[in-house]
Every structure is written in structure tokens, then in C-alpha cells.
Structure 1
Amino acid sequence: MSQQPLPTRPSVLISAAMSLDGHIDDASPERLLLSSAEDFDRVDGLRAESDAILVGAGTLRADDPRLEVRDPARRAAREARGLPAHPLKVALAGSGGLSADLRLWQSGGAKLVLAPDAAVRGLREQLRAAAEVVGTGPELDPARVLDELAARGVRRLMIEGGGAIQTLFLTAGLVDEIQLAVAPFFVGDAGAPRFAPPGASPFPQDAAHRMTLLGAEVLGDLTVLRYGARRSDASRVTQTDVDWMRAAIALSRECPRSETAYSVGAVIVGADGVELARGFSREGGDDKVHAEESALAKLDPADPRLRTATIYSTLEPCSVRASRPSPCAELIRSAGIGRVVLAWREPALFVADCQGVELLEAAGATVLELPGLAAEARVVNSHLVK
């Protein structure tokens, strides 16, 4: 009897706030407020986009969070997509137990506690029906944690703390993205908790585990830095990029001719170099469909591979569109794709000023152009653009 393969592990996002000297709190009994109202709203948006939110027992004891999606509109949007109003709430517990009086157990949504097998019985007695408690083997193995969540249909996992949990997943090489809000002050206390403090395992030092800066956003006096565990040459054009763009150009030649729309080809490629999907304009007889839209429609929007993928498009993704609710730049952003390669910018023919590149870069994506292949991409549209 053949063994069933494990479901694909969820993509992992660490969301944290820290001081300029790397602390996520001070040493006082009261919680140090590092974020602003704008940043709390940003984090609420991340929660709404996640299937599960994970914290450690230390964070639960210290901060007593509810881990809810606060914005009613975001909760309603989740429910409209057939999702629960709040993501699954996951707590990792080692030793010391968890109080049944924590606010998390009285908050909305399903709750799950993952703990070493030896701690499961005691936690079940403490929490009773407040949360499901599942063992992870002899220790808290982050890979086992992700496998358990994948089996429950979790595709996108958001880790909110604390420092030991961040370190656990980072040293295991299981983090796909970090969003780090940096507050403009110093804590200056060596005893205060830090972001990703040293743990039992060393941090990986090889280039394959190097984080790549995906973007920075200023929110008042905070700066939010986005890092991805993507290829270290994300901002550099390679021969592989040229080869995939030629494949996209070949696809554009398959487009049915139109006098009112461009012929475009698009290919989505995973971080491992394997093609995930492809598409071209007006594919399948739909005279309104765009190439990027066609390729993305062939993938599950929650596919974790999209976060580390590159999309190749022979033309700048559109920023304004009358035929569909969302332009292609927004579809790419919503899919979480952080690297976009294009052959040429959209000329001012159907749209006066396409802002696809600007929208993608504002969302933190790396956008690269291949001007050496622009002529090949344009010639497919020579009936429109001379």
C-alpha cells in the first residue's frame, strides 16, 4: 500500500515590531507599545490574509492577546470567500502550562494548542474544551508543526511571537517572509527580550538562507521592512530570466489577433525553477482575459509557492482596466508574487499612463525590465504599435 504524500507545508510569515536596538519589549511588567494605529491596521490586514496565526506560550502569558481580525469589513470579506471570520489560532506550549482564563480562549474562532507529547495530558486537563491539544512528538519540532497545520488546510501561517518561536522557525529554515516594524527609539536594556534571540540551534549562514529585502514602507514614524527568503539575486537579471522571457514571447504569438488589445504572454516560475503556470491574452476564447490573469487563474490563490515565485510578462502588467474588477498588477500583488520581470512598458495607446510597475514596487515587489527583448515582444504587436 503506497504512502499518501504530506500536504504542502504552509508559507510562513513572521510579523514583529522592534526598537532600533532590536528589542520587542522592555524588562518592565507592562507591555511596551512599539506599534502605531497605522501599523496595527496593517497587521490586522495580514491576519485577515492568513489561514492561521501562531504564538508561543510566553507571548500568551505576557500579552494575553485575542489574535482576532478586528476590522468588521475584513471579517465579512473572509466570510464572503467561505472562510471563518478569524484565522485558526495556534499556540505552541512547551512546559509550564496555559491558564484557562486567557482571553484567547474566549475570543472568536477555532483554537489549537501544539505541545510535546509529554505535556499534552496536562494541557488538556487545564484547558478542557477551550482548545484542541495535539502532540508534536518528543519536542516542539517546527517541521512537525507545519505538517500538522498543512493537514488542516492551512496554506498561509502568520507567526506573531515571541522571540523564541521566531528563532525556532528561522533556525530551521522554515520562514518565507519577515515583516518587521522598526520603532524610532532605543530600549537600552540588555535584559529585555529581543527579536529572534540566539536559540539551541545556530542560525544558517549559507547564501541559500540569506533574506532578501523586498521593500520598505514608512508609516508615520515607523518603518516596515519586508524580507523574503528568496533567491539572493532577486534584483539581478540572469540568463534564466532571459530564457523564461523568450518562452513568454513565444506564448504571445499564440494570442488571437485583436485591434483593441495587446498580445501578451506570461509564465509563472517557482523559486526552484519549475514552471507553475502560463497564459496568454484571449486564451480559451475569452476576448477579455489578460495573459497574467490567465496564468494566475490556473493556480490556487493560496498556493504557498506564489510567495517565492517570479512572473514573466512580455508587457507591463496593467494598472487600470474596464473589463474586469481588478487589473493585473493588483492580481499579482494579491497573489503575493514578489518578483516581476517584463520586456517592455505599456505604451500610451489604450491607457494614457500605465502605472503597473509603480503599483507593484509600492507593494514591495522587485520589478525588472529586459530591454534587450523589448523589440521581440513589440513585434508581436506591430499591427498596434509601430
Structure 2
Amino acid sequence: MPYPYVLLSAAVSLDGCLDDTGPDRLLLSGPADFDRVDEVRASVDAILVGAGTIRADNPRLLVNAPERRAARRAAGRPEYPLKVTVSGSGELDPDANFWHTGGEKVVYTTDTGAERARSLGLAADVVPLGARLDWRRLLEHLHDVRGVRRLMVEGGGTVHTQLLQEGLADELQLVLAPLFVGDPDAPRLFGPGGYQAGRLRLVETRPIEDVVLMRYEPTAPGAGPLPVAADHHWLALACDLAAACPPSRTAFSVGAVVVAADGTELARGHSREAGDPVVHAEEAALAKIDPADPRLATATVYTSLEPCTHRASRPTPCARLVLDAGVGRVVTAWREPNTFVTGADGSGLLAAAGVDVVVLPEYEERAEAPNRHLL
């Protein structure tokens, strides 16, 4: 199921704290960065904070600049983004600023928490997610029911931690403030637990007055049948490679990327690469990797079209090449149509052999684009 693009936003001290333990909120950045945050808010469809942030900071979560609100209205969008909070217990303060400013609000909670939240008479849509909070169900609901395509998450640390640990954050915008809090009881941005392997990709570094904005993207693929945020980046790259293929009326244009579990790109390839009129994308990419490379066993192959199961130009189809390489996970955008082979089912062959096959149908149109003259 498609999810919104999830952008985590936070400011921290040099020792990783979100705040101190004093009665007033610690302001970690200044007017220029607050204006940047306002600009980001104006660009998204929804802003999410945890119930703990509402209790601790009593935020309004508004787009403050009148010209930005006007631009949203002119584009046919609500003046303010949808405001979202998450509470397992449903214990929320009905007098908090969150409920009495801005536009529409929604509360995601458990079945039990929904009873409590509804009893408070909140001016909000209350959505139960079952016996426990489920981030994937929450994101699916935001995308499919509320039409949210970009979601900004402003805290707190528990929410940021959970989204990163589940591989659901597409981007981290982190502002580093030049001060130390030094209090062992102060709230911190990230908690302990199991995070995805690998280094994040640094997208941007920008000084803003005396703070520094750093934007990161995750790189590590998922490790099973569920998609993670980095899968979208790598599959989009595979689709872009398909668009670079020399055109053909007798074969599909396909792009492929092989990525190690830590997010290292091992190889990429595309159909008809290097002037070979019959080479396939997965074949071209896998040929560039030492078959003895131990990283292949935990790697992911991203391909714009599912690996083929039959071909006339080579003795070994791409699905078999993937299996022979020992790769255990494939992410694809498009199931092979019957244009050249009737009943092709590379995904089924791979899954029957124990490979985790993840299909991201939201990329199908992008994968089809270089091949439309064949359909």
C-alpha cells in the first residue's frame, strides 16, 4: 500500500537533547529557522506530533505567514495542513492549543483509546487502529482516506524513533544548535533499539544564523516482504535507468540496481547496455559483481520490470540469474505483460524459491513509460 512521504523535523542541542527539564520550552533555533519550518509546514498536507509533545509543548502547529496560507488557498488546498496526533491511551487535554487553532484534526489511537478520546468531545476525527498502534496502518489511512501525500512529523523523540526503526521515514531534517543541555533527564531525539543498518545519505547542509540544517535520507533496503522508505529511492532510480535504454520495438526497456543491506550500491544496469542489443537489466547489473561477494546473500535487486522467466536471446532468464546469485529480496514496479511472453511470472518463480518479492504498484506508470510504444 502507498504511504505518504514522511519527513521528520527536529532541532537538537550538541548533546542530542530536544529540550531541557525547565518549566519553559528551550528555544534551540532562532527566527530564520522558525521561518524555514513555517515554509516546510506550508508545503505539506499534514503535520503529526505525538500526544506527549502536545502535553509538553502545547503547540499550535500553524502556518504563520499570511502569504503562505494565501498561496495554499490559491492552489485549492486548505489554509492549514491537517493536524495529526497519536495516542495509545486516548488521554488528551481537550483545552490544548492543538484542538483550537488551525484546520482539521485527526487522532490515531487504539480501540480502547478511541473510547476515551471520543468521550472528551474533541473537535477531531478519531481513528482506532486496533489493539495496538500500527504505524503502517496509520500511514495507509492518511494516504488513502485523507489524501495525504507529504507528512511532516515534528515530534517527539518516541515518534521519531519508532518511524526510523520501522524504516518509514523518507527524510530527516535535523537542526543542530550550538549549545549543550547537560541534563541526563532531558528528552532526547532518538532512543535505544534496533535501527536499520548503514549510513544515511547527506542531501543538504545549510547554516541558518548560528544553527546548521542537515537533511538526510535513509539508504538501507528492507529485510523482508514489507517495504521501507529507502526502497522507494532505489526503485525510482531503477525506473530512471529504464528511461535511459536505447529504444527497441522487440524488447522492454528495464533498469536494475543491486543494493547491499547497508545501503551500498553494488551495481546498476539497463537493457541493451553498452551496445549489447540483447542484454537485460538484471543480467547487466549482476555481471558487474563478483559472484563470491558475501553481500549478495543479503542484497536487494531493484528492477523496474519483474525479472524474466523465459527468453530467446540467452540460455538463462533473469529470475534464474537472481536465484543463482543467492539474492534473497527483489523489489519491482511492474509485472510483465503478455507482450512477448504469455503468462510470464518472474515474481511467482522467485517467491516459490523463497525470495522476498515486493511489488510497489505506485511506480508502475513510471516503469511503463519507456515501454508505452510496445503496449
Into which bin does the TM-score normalised by the smaller protein fall? 0.5 to 0.7
Change (3 A) 1:243 1:169: closer
1:241 Cα deviation from its structure 2 partner: 8.2
User: Which residue of the partner structure matches residue 214 of structure 1?
Assistant: 203
Query: Would you say the 8 A contact 1:170–1:203 is kept in 2?
Result: no
Say which SS state the counterpart of residue 130 (structure 1) adopts: coil
Query: Would you say the 8 A contact 1:54–1:90 is kept in 2?
Result: yes
CA distance in 1, matches of 2:209, 2:118: 44
Query: Would you say the 8 A contact 2:94–2:122 is kept in 1?
Result: no
CA distance in 2, matches of 1:138, 1:218: 44
User: Which residue of the partner structure matches residue 119 of structure 1?
Assistant: 113
Q: How does 1:1-386 map to 2 (within 5 A)?
A: 6=1, 8-95=2-89, 97-126=91-120, 128-151=121-144, 152-198=146-192, 202-207=193-198, 210-230=199-219, 248=244, 250=246, 272-274=302-304
CA distance in 1, matches of 2:160, 2:28: 17
Cα offsets for 1:79-116 (capped at 9, x unmatched): 11111011100010122611111111111210001111
CA distance in 1, matches of 2:244, 2:212: 37
Say which SS state the counterpart of residue 49 (structure 2) adopts: strand
1:304 Cα deviation from its structure 2 partner: 9.0
Query: Would you say the 8 A contact 2:20–2:187 is kept in 1?
Result: yes
CA distance in 1, matches of 2:237, 2:85: 41
AA aligned opposite 1:12:
V
CA distance in 1, matches of 2:196, 2:204: 22
Cα offsets for 1:204-240 (capped at 9, x unmatched): 2433xx42111100001100000012469x9xxxxx9
CA distance in 2, matches of 1:242, 1:62: 44
Change (3 A) 1:243 1:188: closer
AA aligned opposite 2:185:
G
Query: Would you say the 8 A contact 1:212–1:231 is kept in 2?
Result: no
CA distance in 2, matches of 1:122, 1:242: 47
Cα offsets for 1:49-97 (capped at 9, x unmatched): 1111000001001111111111111111111111101110001012261
1:272 Cα deviation from its structure 2 partner: 4.3
Change (3 A) 1:78 1:189: same
1:242 Cα deviation from its structure 2 partner: 11
Say which SS state the counterpart of residue 16 (structure 1) adopts: strand
Query: Would you say the 8 A contact 2:175–2:212 is kept in 1?
Result: yes
Say which SS state the counterpart of residue 59 (structure 2) adopts: coil
CA distance in 1, matches of 2:122, 2:27: 32
Query: Would you say the 8 A contact 2:108–2:127 is kept in 1?
Result: yes
Unaligned 5+ runs, structure 1: 1-5, 235-239, 252-270, 277-302, 310-386
Say which SS state the counterpart of residue 149 (structure 1) adopts: helix
Q: What number of residue pairs does the alignment pair up?
A: 246
Query: Would you say the 8 A contact 2:165–2:196 is kept in 1?
Result: no
1:196 Cα deviation from its structure 2 partner: 1.6
CA distance in 2, matches of 1:55, 1:246: 39
AA aligned opposite 1:132:
D
Query: Would you say the 8 A contact 2:41–2:152 is kept in 1?
Result: yes
Say which SS state the counterpart of residue 212 (structure 2) adopts: strand
CA distance in 2, matches of 1:50, 1:123: 26
Say which SS state the counterpart of residue 145 (structure 1) adopts: helix
CA distance in 2, matches of 1:272, 1:218: 35
User: Which residue of the partner structure matches residue 266 of structure 1?
Assistant: none
CA distance in 1, matches of 2:194, 2:183: 23
1:243 Cα deviation from its structure 2 partner: 11
Query: Would you say the 8 A contact 2:46–2:82 is kept in 1?
Result: yes
AA aligned opposite 1:204:
Y
1:249 Cα deviation from its structure 2 partner: 8.1
Unaligned 5+ runs, structure 2: 222-229, 231-235, 248-300, 306-332, 334-360, 367-375
1:203 Cα deviation from its structure 2 partner: 2.4
Given the two structures, how large is their TM-score scaled by the length of structure 2? 0.60
